[in-house]
Structure 1
Amino acid sequence: MVSRMNESRALRAGARAGVVLVALLCALAGAMTSTGAWFTARAVDSGHRVGTAVLQPVLAQTSVGADLGVTLNWPAGPTAGETPRFLVSREIEGEPWTRVPIYHGTGTTVTDRGSDPADLADGEGGGFSKVAAGNNHSCAIAHDKAYCWGRNESGQLGDGTTTGSQRPVPVVRTVMFGRVTDISVGFAHTCAIADGAAYCWGNNNDGRLGNGSWNWVPSQVPVRVEIPGEVTEISAGYRATCAIADGEGYCWGSAVSGQLGNGQIGKDPWGSEQHSTTPQRVKGGLVPAGARFTSISTGTAHSCGVADFRVYCWGSGVDGQLGAPGVSGSAVPVTVFSLLGPVTEIATGRRSTCAISTLSIYCWGTGGPVPGTASSWPTSVSSTLFQRGASSLEMGRVDEGPVSNDHACVIASRSVVCWGDNVNGVLGRGTPGRRSTTPEPVDAELGIPWSVATGGKHTCVMKESEVRCWGSADCGGLGDGTGQSSSTPVSIAPIRDWTCPSGALLQAVVAPATQPTCSFAPDTRLVYRVDQTVGRWTAPTGITGVKVVAPS
């Protein structure tokens, strides 16, 4: 009888101890990190034998790597000859519904990067909003994200590698993770706008990435360009880049021909070519005070912009591309003469320029789309196709090798209309041919296109459901995965995307990996829970908190 009373008291004491233990664990969870009190677990097996194991909460030590992945290490508790098993789960602090298991096994370490990225056909079935073509690579925006294909020796595809691709690859979003609204392709660099901020990647010679770097080292992933105000348009040229922010024009990169429009030109007193590694405001010249830019374009050695419906150009004018007779070059904006009607769009090539006004399309300079004899006076491009207006004016230029003429394309009469140089079949007329100053529709059923993009060796057109390209496939520029040139439009390969779960960011591909990995965003606060099971017993949950801080 006394023995049964003592056993009853022991059970009541054990129950009180269990209540205290539960309260302790709740307190530890609130503090995010437990201290690991010992406790005794009792269990009865099928043979009615009583066993006892002494376990403690398992607490993980954490470290954050350069890739922002979190590595956890924890000790194995007393095992009494049995192998312990661990279940590790993670959640974002304050968001318990995000809890997911990240490890289950007998090991005592794991590296957590959020999870393996999911492979999604993000661009299939539509979602395109912009396409841009350069000399040997192209890019597109699909579902508010950027994708590129083609040549990549300077990292201009933005996928974290220098390996070219004949199919679209996603641009790494470690920094440029906002909604992409504009993208532009230069000779060997690319620039884009995401959430009103400017980003560039690829070749950084002359400071064309605009991030203040003096060592001219290229970047294989996007870098932020600091421009005051909200950026609404960006244009990547041969050796320079220009953008519009809050109605002001800004340019950076080479100024050897005055293409920055800020007064810099030629060489400095020490014989080095003038350039700027940070954005410089376009100022001076003939642009009236208070005028606001609404369109801007950067060519090979000159730039132009539309401010209050008038056109201004700066840089090299040796081929008449400034539209100002007698002006062979200017480091500040000059006015383009003889344009009738307000101008809405501007496009620059290698040796010529074109603009859309409410009354006509005008071109000036040398070769390519310029009708008749080359002239620094704007010449109207006559076509019945333009009677109902035109939009999405683009010019292609070859920025390497022998001097080549330019070609131009617009959306008009519910089709793509092109004229100018036809080397590599960039006019889309079924076969490569000589220069044509007669605007004609592309020889294909494209449906109703939304926009067009012209590169040096190829042309692309976009509608909501697809992007199609034609011309030279040099370095994969057509994006269809075949590597074969075509003088008629071919569809780019389906866009494959990699996405990470909430709280994680996509990291660049590092050779020899074939897909990117995920990591956590800086300043993310995480809670890890480690449960240890030994035989029939489970230790109380060990709770460890960590803040992801990027290495300095």
Structure 2
Amino acid sequence: MLRHTRFGRTSMAVLVAASSAIVNVVACSDSEQRDVFSSEVDAADAAHLPETGTEPTLDGGPADAGPSFDAASEPVTCSVTPCAVELAAGENHVCARMSAGDVRCWGSDDFGSLGRGEPDADTRDVSFGPLTVVELPKSVQITAAYRTTCARGEDGSVKCWGGNDRGQLGLTPLTTDTRAHPQPTVVGLSAPATRIDIGQRSACALLSTGGLACWGANDKMQLGREETGTTLSPGPSKVPGLKVMRTAASNTTTYALTDDDKLAAWGALAAREGSLDPDPLPAVIPTLNRVTDVSVGLTHACAIAEGSVYCWGSSAKYALCTGLPSKETLPAHAALYSDAYPQQISVARNNTCVRLTDGTVQCCGDGSRGQLGAPLADGGGTVALSFTKATSFTGHAVQVVTTAQTTCALLRTGEVDCWGGNQHGELGQGTADDDAHPTPAAVHFQ
């Protein structure tokens, strides 16, 4: 029996809403056009309803409600060689940081997102398998979003490659263009970086001096900078009274996790109410406490707060995971059906996936390419309105990342499994195809 929690909507309400959606669509004629933000969902799309079970809470729950919540990342044991220790994903590409400090990427290379260097004449390597990014120092962290990837070296230097349509590469002098940038270039920071985070159209780095430097798109003041202009080169961002631990950014809003487990936001107004929009100064989102992770996509974002998942924004494919029409102005509770706690979350254009403390993965949203990690319904596409367990994945995940059509999990062993779409070679098999792949495949590292 489902247990009510003190976090927002009840699990039972989610199931009732989802079930009602299926009933409603039966009464509609095939010729009617449905609003993607209405409660109507094709019966085939709604095939993946959440599994019943018990959702744990941090306090007040029964003794057998599951393990105590721990926000710390689970380490990789490196029982294989080569061994991946961190993943990062953009729109159609994935990168892995290896235990030796090199970075290997696979998937779409349309904008140089794989970092394979300038081609010799017309001999660009079109291999879809993972290859090592060129001319990087030993890396200690990687980050990716949309078509851009960055790596931070042991000395605090940052190199970026790929898309630069909003100046995400941090080139000096400031340059924006739509060309491919396959050669990693150094970002001109005023001090060594202790962390780097790429957003959808911008980037921010935490500096050894304690400051925050951001660059890229600034049309909604999302860089927190005094300067005006649609794009800006790296420079100091104002975050008065906040100690930022990491950032994440949509097209128009920047979010920051703070040292006291708050989530602040600036730029276009999102996840909170206010009279100033856009707002260049950070303001804490009041409804979220004890925030341990956040992930941001093009049109929606999700955070783990007090051991539960909350999402806001909009999604035509129900990637907010609430079981209800996917349009929320303020953070809405997204129920999980497990005795384990959500520990890390990843948001893509039409999907959201979460890694739980027991190493399992749950996803919601579009499943047309098998990216939910569950068998497809007869007759084609599937949409999961709420979090659904990736039953095809049997490993123990320590990280999950999502591209536009693919899900990848970093295993505790140091291996990487991917499932879903492979149109751009996102599965890391060295090939590409248009088929759906709901069953995980191990990435072929060379």
TM-score, structure 2 length as denominator? 0.71
Question: Are the structure 2 counterparts of residues 276 and 288 from structure 1 closer, same or farther at C-alpha, using a change threshold of 3 Å?
Answer: closer
8 Å CA contact 2:309–2:333 kept in 1: the answer is: yes
8 Å CA contact 2:353–2:400 kept in 1: the answer is: no
Corresponding residue number in structure 1 for 2:385? 437
Q: Deviations over 1:402-436 (max 9, x none)?
A: xxx44233334321122233343322222274432
Q: Secondary structure at the match of 1:205?
A: coil
Q: Distance in 1 between matches of 2:371 and 2:272?
A: 25
8 Å CA contact 1:351–1:406 kept in 2: the answer is: no
> Is it true that 1:137 corresponds to 2:85 in the alignment?
no
8 Å CA contact 1:322–1:334 kept in 2: the answer is: no
Q: Deviations over 1:314-361 (max 9, x none)?
A: 2334xxx4443666543332321211x311211111111111123422
Find 1:211's aligned residue among 167, 171, 183.
171
Q: CA deviation at 1:129?
A: 0.5
Q: CA deviation at 1:492?
A: 1.4
Corresponding residue number in structure 2 for 1:17? none
Q: Deviations over 1:443-501 (max 9, x none)?
A: 224321111111112111112331111121122122111313412211112x23xxxxx
Corresponding residue number in structure 2 for 1:251? 214
Q: Distance in 2 between matches of 1:215 and 1:353?
A: 28
Which structure 1 residue ranges, 4+ long, deviate > 6 Å from structure 2?
none
Corresponding residue number in structure 2 for 1:507? none
Q: Secondary structure at the match of 1:166?
A: coil
Question: Are the structure 2 counterparts of residues 242 and 422 from structure 1 closer, same or farther at C-alpha, using a change threshold of 3 Å?
Answer: farther
Q: RMSD over aligned Cα, in angstroms?
A: 2.6
Find 1:184's aligned residue among 130, 135, 143.
143
Find 1:304's aligned residue among 243, 248, 255.
255
Q: Which has the higher strand share?
A: 1
Corresponding residue number in structure 2 for 1:383? 336
Uncovered stretches (5+) of structure 2, i.e. residues with no partner:
1-77
> Is it true that 1:295 corresponds to 2:246 in the alignment?
yes
Letter in 2 for 1:281: P
Q: Distance in 1 between matches of 2:366 and 2:265?
A: 23
1:132-211 aligned at under 5 Å gives the runs 132-143=88-99, 144-160=101-117, 161=119, 163-173=125-135, 176-178=136-138, 180-195=139-154, 196-211=156-171
8 Å CA contact 1:391–1:411 kept in 2: the answer is: yes
Find 1:427's aligned residue among 341, 355, 372.
372
8 Å CA contact 1:416–1:442 kept in 2: the answer is: yes
Q: Distance in 2 between matches of 1:301 and 1:408?
A: 22
8 Å CA contact 1:263–1:332 kept in 2: the answer is: no
Corresponding residue number in structure 2 for 1:343? 291
Corresponding residue number in structure 2 for 1:409? 354
8 Å CA contact 2:166–2:201 kept in 1: the answer is: yes
Q: CA deviation at 1:370?
A: 4.8
Q: Deviations over 1:208-266 (max 9, x none)?
A: 1013243436532211113344423322233212232345433211112333232566x
Corresponding residue number in structure 2 for 1:261? 224
Letter in 2 for 1:280: G
8 Å CA contact 2:271–2:331 kept in 1: the answer is: no
Corresponding residue number in structure 1 for 2:6? none
Corresponding residue number in structure 2 for 1:316? 268
> Is it true that 1:470 corresponds to 2:419 in the alignment?
yes
Q: Deviations over 1:76-114 (max 9, x none)?
A: xxxxxxxxxxxxxxxxxxxxxxxxxxxxxxxxxxxxxxx
Question: Are the structure 2 counterparts of residues 126 and 323 from structure 1 closer, same or farther at C-alpha, using a change threshold of 3 Å?
Answer: farther
Corresponding residue number in structure 2 for 1:226? 188
8 Å CA contact 2:106–2:130 kept in 1: the answer is: yes
Question: Are the structure 2 counterparts of residues 437 and 213 from structure 1 closer, same or farther at C-alpha, using a change threshold of 3 Å?
Answer: farther
8 Å CA contact 1:239–1:300 kept in 2: the answer is: yes
Q: Distance in 1 between matches of 2:307 and 2:113?
A: 38
Question: Are the structure 2 counterparts of residues 428 and 327 from structure 1 closer, same or farther at C-alpha, using a change threshold of 3 Å?
Answer: farther
Find 1:356's aligned residue among 277, 301, 304.
304
8 Å CA contact 1:128–1:466 kept in 2: the answer is: yes
Question: Are the structure 2 counterparts of residues 413 and 467 from structure 1 closer, same or farther at C-alpha, using a change threshold of 3 Å?
Answer: same
1:16-95 aligned at under 5 Å gives the runs none
Corresponding residue number in structure 2 for 1:77? none
Q: Secondary structure at the match of 2:109?
A: coil
Q: CA deviation at 1:392?
A: 2.4
Q: Distance in 2 between matches of 1:294 and 1:215?
A: 28
Question: Are the structure 2 counterparts of residues 351 and 170 from structure 1 closer, same or farther at C-alpha, using a change threshold of 3 Å?
Answer: same
Q: CA deviation at 1:288?
A: 4.2
Q: Distance in 2 between matches of 1:454 and 1:330?
A: 29
8 Å CA contact 1:150–1:478 kept in 2: the answer is: yes
Q: CA deviation at 1:388?
A: 4.1
Q: Secondary structure at the match of 1:165?
A: coil
Q: Distance in 1 between matches of 2:141 and 2:386?
A: 30
8 Å CA contact 1:133–1:454 kept in 2: the answer is: yes
Question: Are the structure 2 counterparts of residues 292 and 479 from structure 1 closer, same or farther at C-alpha, using a change threshold of 3 Å?
Answer: same
Question: Are the structure 2 counterparts of residues 133 and 149 from structure 1 closer, same or farther at C-alpha, using a change threshold of 3 Å?
Answer: same
Corresponding residue number in structure 2 for 1:99? none
Corresponding residue number in structure 2 for 1:394? 346
Letter in 2 for 1:252: W
Q: Distance in 1 between matches of 2:409 and 2:253?
A: 25
Letter in 2 for 1:253: G
8 Å CA contact 1:364–1:370 kept in 2: the answer is: no
Uncovered stretches (5+) of structure 1, i.e. residues with no partner:
1-121, 269-273, 398-404, 497-552
Q: Secondary structure at the match of 2:397?
A: coil
1:444-523 aligned at under 5 Å gives the runs 444-463=392-411, 464-484=413-433, 485=435, 486-493=437-444, 495-496=445-446
TM-score, structure 1 length as denominator? 0.58
Length, aligned pairs only: 347
8 Å CA contact 1:419–1:427 kept in 2: the answer is: yes
